[in-house]
Amino acid sequence: MNVTSSVREPLINGGKTWADITNDICRQVEGKPSKSWIIAFVISVLLLGVGVFCVMYTWFVGIGVWGLNKTVGWAWDITNFVWWVGIGHAGTLISAILLLFRQKWRTSINRAAEAMTIFAVLCAASFILLHMGRPWLGHWTLPLGNTYGSLWVNFYSPLVWDVFAISTYLTVSVVFWYIGLIPDLATIRDRATNKTSRLIYGIMSFGWNGAAKDWSRFEAVSLVLAGLSTPLVLSVHTIVSFDFATSIVPGWHTTIFPPYFVAGAIFSGFAMVLTLMLITRKVFKMEDYITLAHVESMNKVITLTGSIVGVAYITEFFIAWYSGVEYESYAFINRATGPYWWSYLTMMVCNVVSPQLFWIRSIRRSILATFILSIIVNIGMWFERFVIIVTSLHRDYVPSSWAYFSPTWFDIGDYANSFGLFFTLFLLFSKFLPVINMAEVKAILKSSGDVQTGQAEGKTTVSSDKSISSH
Amino acid sequence: MSAPNVIINQSEKGIVRAMSKQNQTIYWRGYEELTNDLEFVKNSEEEFNLPSDEEKSSFSDRRDFLKTLGFSVAAVSLAACEAPVKHAIPFLNKPEEYDPGISNYYASTFFSGGDYSSILVKTREGRPIKIEGNKLSSVSGGGTSVKTQASVLGLYDNNRFKNPKKGSSNIDWAALDTEVKQGLEASKANGKTTFLISGSNISPSSNAAIAAFASSYGNVKYVQYDSYSAHGLLEASKDVSGNRVIPGYDFSKAKVVVSFGADFLGSWLSSTEYSRQFAKTRRVSPSNKEMSRLFVFESLMSITGANADYRTNIRPSEKGLVVASLYNEVAALLGTAPINTSPKSNRYIKQAAEQLVAHKGAGLVVDGSNDKNLQKLVLQLNQLLGNFGKTVSFANPALIKRGNDTDFNQFVDSLNGGQVGAVLFLDSNPVYDHPRGAEIKAGLSKADLSLSFAYAPDETAASSKFIAPNHYFLEAWGDAEPKKGHFSLIQPTISPIYKTRQAEESLLIWAGDKTTYYDFVKGYWKSNMYPKQQFGYGSFKDFWNYSLHDGVFEVNGVNPRQVGATSGDSTIVAATIPTVSIPEPAISFNLAGVEAEISELYKANATGYELVVYEKVGMGSGSQANNPWLQEFPDPVTRACWENYLLIPVSLAKELELKVTEGKTILVNLKAAGKTITIPALVQPGQNSGTVGLAIGYGRTETGKTGKDVGANAYPFIKSVNGNLQYSISGVSVEKNGGDHLVAHVQTHHTVMGRPVIQETTLDKYAKNAADGRYLPKITTVNGEEPASNFSLWFDNDLEASTNEMAKGPNKRPNHQWSMVVDLNTCFGCGACVIACQSENNVPVVGKQEVLNRREMHWIRIDRYYSSDMTKEKAKKETVGLIDMYDAMEIASDDPEVVFQPLMCQHCNNAPCETVCPVLATTHSSEGLNQMTYNRCIGTRYCANNCPYKVRRFNWFSYPENSKFDYNVNNNLGKMVLNPDVTVRARGVMEKCSMCIQRIQEGKLYAKKEGRRPADGEINTACAQACPTEAITFGDMSDKNSKLYKLLAEHKDGRAYTLLEEINTRPSVVYLTKIRNKA
């Protein structure tokens, strides 16, 4: 019962029926893991193993094993943190904002994007802990009761705001993601052929029985959570940007940071979603669900946010000159022409130039080009944070303290750890949970204005308002 | 609980007791008591029926059970974990003067290689932990040097000799005495000479003990030498005045100073004393707009050159001619006969001559060379200018250098000739620190007896047959006479840690004298010093006790205590101390031969490279090379540490295509005097283009782990000319080796980039406008331009509490407002404050690799900036683009002006670090201090990032517990130097200057106990205390009578500025502009 429109590309290809959808998506969960999954999983776990060694070593010996120094107090640690948080933005944006905007194409990717969000935020959180000199006291950043009475966190500190923002974001994301999983978990439970699966998925699906009342409550909750998440998309990276914007370091102290960081976050988040989805689509044979139309829509968002970021870079330069503040103007000249010119150049090419290629339709719709560019964008966004953090710090006010930062193996190893963690979690997720939201995809199988394939050749309008309004 | 309450309570109790006596109603405990039942009476004392003994043995009661349980749990858990063993030695009898937690100060003396300071040794719980300057000395006047400050650590050197030794095996003192005596007797019997070699020995008692030793054997020759010789000056003085002494210089009376390579603010002779004197002439204020003028002609860039008003770099080989040309210029102006040498005039020679003549009697010319002829010429020049008796004096000579190159050469010759029967090395290490060291090492095997008194391993001890380890000076008795008639005492501040013995005592024992050295010193003072005293001490006991207490006795000085005060068992009788003016001894000049020798030795048009062997301010002769504080002490000029390097001029760097970035440099082969070494090169702006420089004090081969094989030994390059050691060698070649090398720097960016971090002006401009050179940031508002400091995010009371406002009016801090003023004009950059702070605040040593990683931990640093040829004005005039301008600004000028700036935590009143800490580990105190709560710190380093001054230091590792940092705090002995008042910071926490909060608290508590407010000057920070020039003033800004307040009030509209005023952090540290006395 595939339906299509003459003006709008179908959201799902391949003439799928509802049963096809269930079978296609559950296949991965119910079957034995594929060879490619096992290989990927082994690599991820090995990477995680190396990473865990590096992290443990860092933890036991001290963060002196990194390349930081008296002048550059943050480098890869906070770069990685901001980068992962940024990546974590796509999921919520897709599931909340696009939901509110009724973008139906989101249903094929929202599950994986949300999972990615959670894992990315976990990776980010790991860097919050790891970058501390005494991570075992990390809980002191929480306003916990204590016997000292007046000992409290510093509400002036953007790091405390970060703690609140990230933990709220993580909580809401996890809840939103899990609530969305319940109908699908019930489907798997119902299809389960062995007791263990039935028991586990049964517990996980909270006794979902598909009744109208269940659906009604489900949709109400989803809407409420979407409403809750929407401001978070904007607030989290705004607050992360406050870490820099509220400081006095030239190159950090910039009012443009909040919107520019949010745009950058969506930019990198979408790129990461694309990287993952293009692989998932191939490995799990989901080409019919994640179509070129999806890729193209994502690329359009990337072009938009990439352009916003580019404008922000140029605005920063203008303001540095226009403000007449010597330290700030030097900070920006130094960024572009100083010892770290190469990182600035990398950032500009990757973030400003490369997404502009998506103006070309053939590139926008090319899987290979998109895959490569999505990685380039994430490299660029990593360098953006590196440029902001390191080039601003390494030459600030007093020239006697100017210094150069170079990473050590442990900087790299601890970064690798987050990749290991991320991919291990993502692979576990893709094996044990449906990567595509079956319930929602079924709902968009046929959209308003669509006609059934083969029937409506040449017809421009056929009313078909029976489509299930999913929310 | 306050006292009145106690009284009331006691009286209440009394009332209660009285009442219960009045109502003596008897209550029965039961019917049995009333009836006096037998069973009851028997058990009436016990409340319960207790089990019989038999019953007791059969079961254990509840208490026993709990006891057993508790014990076994404790035993098991104790056995399960290895409890750390802590050694604590209780006092059976508490010494009278000792209280735990209270510091005791003992006056003593530091002397090493010409560096003299009268000191106070701070001891805690019986351990010396810190050296402070003794203000009662008119020589050092409370100032200290880097080496002085670091010397306390030498006591706790883990590598010290723990026993007397024969070869490499330990022996006991009795056995050593027998063998050494035999050896000495044999030397005498064989008709050979016994040599006693020492560094300059300024101790009268020690010299007397040596004389006693020498006379008892009769064949003893006592030879003194200096690792950095002043033989030339001593011989010149001898020719001129008849006495082989260093002339007494008084820089404080000099209005014009001309120095020819004499680094009198750094390493030349008594530089602590000279810095102090010189600083007096550099203190400029609205009420004193006069300042001395310093001309320096030198080859390398020394601290003195860096502080010069006019500096010229000259070739070492032309120096004699430059001095002669100054002489001739002066002679021409004065109308006296010139000397006949080939003319070699130089930039600023004419100005210097004019200035000297204009300030006759208030000028001073000094020369740092070891050339007798040149020194003679310089002395005559001073004579010509009428400076004798004013700025130069033979009536008040310095006695800190006594080495004789000629005698020492004779010793080496006779050692090699096999005429030496025995040789004893006291406080000397010539195998290492003399150019003929290798010969001495070889020759020592020819001597029948060789013995070193070294307290720690050194090259000479390693080549000697016996080691009779001396006490460290903090364990010893002794005295010193750095200047004629200025005596100071050395007293032990701890009992000897190891089985060491005072060298002089050993000598006395071998001479058959059983007097302890303490008695010897005391006896010497009784017969020699006591008769000279004019203070009215009634008995020697008083004289001795007070001299020991004060540390100094100055024959013509002023009694430090009020004469007439009662003391001990006799009253000091008021004595009129006559103001003694010692007449200048007759001096006679005979320049015969001087012209000819200068003409022969110095050439005007030399080519090729010349090597200058120089002494570093921190490392000195290398005798303290195993001291990690000194190894990590960054050289004030190069800002590099942990090794020596070949200083090369900018022109040579261009030739070698060398650009040093982040300490990365190349290795070069230095060929000189037939020797070749491979050494890293470092570019030194301002260095003469034909000169390369190499520091002594490195390349030790026999010392502890810290100092061993660090850098290269420069001593072998020193050349002997006519028995004089010459520290410049011509015919040197420098070639690329091909290898790369990393030199650890604490500062790798050398220019100030035109930023108002340094604000400076010249004296003329200052005289017209006190605020000249100041940067006054303004912000444009609708009402016009307003000072940037008028704007704040913060509440008004904070605004008013800030520094600038403070100088103008009363502040809002309830109690104190601690603050500091740093005078950039009297800070010469010596760095004594850096080590004083390290010692006071338990700052860890991190080692070369960590300095390379830019993670040194010093809480105070002295930034050094070179001027650049590019300035903003120049860029504007020549329309240079911004990018090009900044590029050019990064490059130091080839002949730069230099400025030093001590930078510690600025204790901002609007501290950027405080707002960003998530856990409130760094907060502001009600006394204006920015304080770190180490316990609370979780180590996000956000504060360090947000500190515009970059003064915060992070503990990247656990330095005391990580074997990679095997310096003093990693062994039990080295840990004893730690100040118990200051936390040893854990890994992962941020630390920084606390303005010595422990000293502030201590001072406040003392005052509180006495029911008063702390007096001004009672509390002082370690850096301010150590500073020989008093460039740092610490005090309470809310005390209007404080020196600090007055200083600020005087300079508030003039020289006073805070760093980065435009970002409105409102620091508590105020700088005074740098002023140069130049046209």
What string of DSSP letters covers B299-353? Answer: SS--HHHHT-SEEEE--GGGHHHHHHHHHHHHHHHHT-PPP-S-----TTHHHHH
Backbone angles phi, psi at B142, to 5 degrees: 90, -5
Residue pLDDT, tens place only, B390-444: 999 998 899 999 999 999 999 999 999 989 999 999 999 999 999 999 999 999 9
Hey, is B550 helix, strand or coil?
A: helix
Hey, is B726 helix, strand or coil?
A: strand
In this predicted structure, what is the pLDDT of residue B854?
94
Cα gap B563→B566, rounded to integer Å: 9
Q: Which residue has the higher pLDDT, B819 or A444?
A: B819
Chain B partners of A322 at a C-beta cutoff of 8 Å?
none
Chain A partners of B917 at a C-beta cutoff of 8 Å?
154, 157, 159
pLDDT at residue A451 is higher than 70: no
pLDDT bucket at A10, cuts 50 / 70 / 90: confident
In angstroms, the separation between the Cα of residue A99 and the nearest Cα of chain B is 36
pLDDT at residue A4 is higher than 80: no
In angstroms, the separation between the Cα of residue B746 and the nearest Cα of chain A is 8
In this predicted structure, what is the pLDDT of residue A422?
95
Average pLDDT on B130-150 reads: 92
Q: Mean pLDDT highest for which of A279-283, B33-37, B980-984? A: B980-984
Q: Tell me the residue type at B886.
A: Y
pLDDT at residue B1060 is higher than 80: yes
Option in A63, A134, A393 nearest B945 (CB): A393
Residue pLDDT, tens place only, B741-777: 999 999 999 999 999 999 999 999 999 999 999 998 8
Residue pLDDT, tens place only, B81-102: 555 555 656 667 777 777 888 8
* B259, B323 contact by CB (below 8 A): no
Would strands B165-166 and B466-467 be described as parallel, antiparallel, or unpaired? antiparallel
Cα gap B990→B325, rounded to integer Å: 56
Instruction: Give the Å distances, CA to CA, from B1033 to B150, B865, B1022, B1036, B1051.
Output: 22, 22, 11, 10, 13
Residue pLDDT, tens place only, B163-190: 999 988 999 999 999 999 999 999 999 9
pLDDT at residue B20 is higher than 60: no
In this predicted structure, what is the pLDDT of residue A6?
62
Chain B partners of A133 at a C-beta cutoff of 8 Å?
937-941, 954-955, 987-990
Hey, is B674 helix, strand or coil?
A: coil
Q: Check B949 against A397: CB less than 8 A apart.
A: yes
In angstroms, the separation between the Cα of residue B1065 and the nearest Cα of chain A is 10
In this predicted structure, what is the pLDDT of residue A152?
86
In this predicted structure, what is the pLDDT of residue A389?
95
pLDDT averaged over chain B?
88
In this predicted structure, what is the pLDDT of residue A241?
94
Cβ–Cβ pairs < 8 A, chains A and B? 175
Nearest residue to A95 via CA among A164, A162, A175: A175
CA dihedral B636→B637→B642→B648, nearest 10 degrees, is -170
In this predicted structure, what is the pLDDT of residue A73?
95
Option in A61, A243, A327 nearest B957 (CB): A61
In this predicted structure, what is the pLDDT of residue B567?
47
Average pLDDT on A140-159 reads: 85
Between B74-83, B307-316, B1005-1014, the lowest mean confidence (pLDDT) is in B74-83
Residue pLDDT, tens place only, A204-258: 999 898 899 999 999 899 889 888 888 888 889 999 999 999 999 999 999 999 9
Average pLDDT on A339-349 reads: 95
In this predicted structure, what is the pLDDT of residue B307?
95
Token pair 């607030």: residue: A235
The pair of structure tokens assigned to B713 is 């030994």
Q: Which residue has the higher pLDDT, B982 or B800?
A: B982
Q: Check A134 against B986: CB less than 8 A apart.
A: yes
% of residues, chain B, pLDDT over 90: 68
Q: Tell me the residue type at B298.
A: E
Q: Check B920 against A396: CB less than 8 A apart.
A: no
What lies within 8 Å, CB to CB, of A402 at 6+ separation is: A71, A394, A395, A396, B748, B749
pLDDT bucket at A462, cuts 50 / 70 / 90: very low
Would strands B818-823 and B466-467 be described as parallel, antiparallel, or unpaired? unpaired
In this predicted structure, what is the pLDDT of residue A447?
59
* B832, B1026 contact by CB (below 8 A): yes
Instruction: Give the Å distances, CA to CA, from B733 to A355, A422, B660.
Output: 58, 59, 20
Q: Check A157 against B753: CB less than 8 A apart.
A: no
Q: Check A132 against B938: CB less than 8 A apart.
A: yes
Option in B661, B918, B1063 nearest A141 (CB): B918
Option in B662, B917, B955 nearest A154 (CB): B917
pTM of the model: 0.88
pLDDT bucket at B603, cuts 50 / 70 / 90: confident
In this predicted structure, what is the pLDDT of residue A427?
93
Option in A63, A64, A398 nearest B948 (CB): A398
% of residues, chain B, pLDDT over 70: 90
Cα atoms in the Cβ-side hemisphere of radius 13 Å centred on B1023: 31
In angstroms, the separation between the Cα of residue B636 and the nearest Cα of chain A is 13
Please tell me which residue of chain B has the smallest CA distance to A163: B918
Q: Check A400 against B861: CB less than 8 A apart.
A: yes
Q: Please give the distance of CA B63 from its chain centroid, rounded to a whole number.
A: 63
Cα gap A414→A51, rounded to integer Å: 6
In this predicted structure, what is the pLDDT of residue A78?
95
Option in B747, B937, B941 nearest A73 (CB): B941
% of residues, chain A, pLDDT over 70: 93
pLDDT at residue B568 is higher than 70: no
pLDDT at residue B80 is higher than 70: no
In this predicted structure, what is the pLDDT of residue B360?
92
Average pLDDT on B791-803 reads: 51
Backbone angles phi, psi at A360, to 5 degrees: -85, 125
In this predicted structure, what is the pLDDT of residue A315?
93
In this predicted structure, what is the pLDDT of residue B347?
86
Q: Mean pLDDT highest for which of B82-91, B363-372, B776-785? A: B363-372
The pair of structure tokens assigned to B697 is 């004090």
Q: Tell me the residue type at B1057.
A: Y
In angstroms, the separation between the Cα of residue A416 and the nearest Cα of chain B is 21
Cα gap B955→B10, rounded to integer Å: 54
Nearest residue to B921 via CA among A393, A162, A137: A137
In this predicted structure, what is the pLDDT of residue A356?
94
In this predicted structure, what is the pLDDT of residue B801?
44
Cα gap A40→A38, rounded to integer Å: 5
In angstroms, the separation between the Cα of residue A239 and the nearest Cα of chain B is 13
pLDDT bucket at A34, cuts 50 / 70 / 90: confident
pLDDT at residue A149 is higher than 80: no
pLDDT bucket at B593, cuts 50 / 70 / 90: confident
Q: Which residue has the higher pLDDT, B74 or A203?
A: A203
Chain A partners of B952 at a C-beta cutoff of 8 Å?
70
Residue B452: Cβ-neighbour burial (10 angstroms; 0-12, 13-18, 19+) = buried
pLDDT at residue B55 is higher than 80: no
Choose the mutation target among B868, B941, B1071 for the interface with A, i.e. most A CBs under 10 Å: B941
The pair of structure tokens assigned to A142 is 């929480």
